[in-house]
């Protein structure tokens, strides 16, 4: 196993733990501001997960294209968190 594959497997475990914990919390705290914040965190983590795993397409896409997709997904995750947080704070 290469170092890159080991890091991807480790980050996959971390992502799955975060998603499982927040999904369980979402079922417990459904509705209200806490539920909205949990949904924002879940969407953000999913977008960061996609951004990290775009690298698996290295054999099919150029390095520049991979960087663009990775940057777009990371920017989308941060935008969801920022705008969603601002909307929740304004309520």
At residue 81, the pLDDT reads: 93
Q: CA angle 40-50-38, nearest 5°?
A: 15
Query: What's the pLDDT tens digit per position in 41-68?
Result: 999 999 999 999 998 888 899 999 999 9
pLDDT cut 70: percent of the chain above it: 99
- Domain hosting residue 12, numbered range: 3-90
What's the structural domain count of the chain? 1
Single out the residue of 8, 32, 10, 36 nearest to residue 22, CA to CA. Answer: 36
- Could you give the CA distance from residue 91 to residue 82 in angstroms, rounded to a whole number? 15
Q: pLDDT at residue 2 above 90?
A: no
pTM: 0.87
């Amino acid at each position: 196993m290469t170092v890159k594959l080991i890091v991807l497997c480790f980050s996959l475990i971390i992502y799955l733990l975060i998603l499982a914990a927040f999904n369980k919390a979402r079922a417990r705290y459904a509705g209200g501001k806490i539920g909205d914040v949990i949904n924002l965190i879940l969407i953000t983590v999913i977008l960061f997960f996609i951004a990290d795993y775009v690298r698996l397409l290295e054999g099919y896409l150029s390095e520049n294209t991979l960087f663009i997709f990775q940057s777009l997904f990371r920017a989308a995750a941060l935008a969801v968190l920022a705008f969603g947080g601002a909307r929740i704070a304004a309520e």
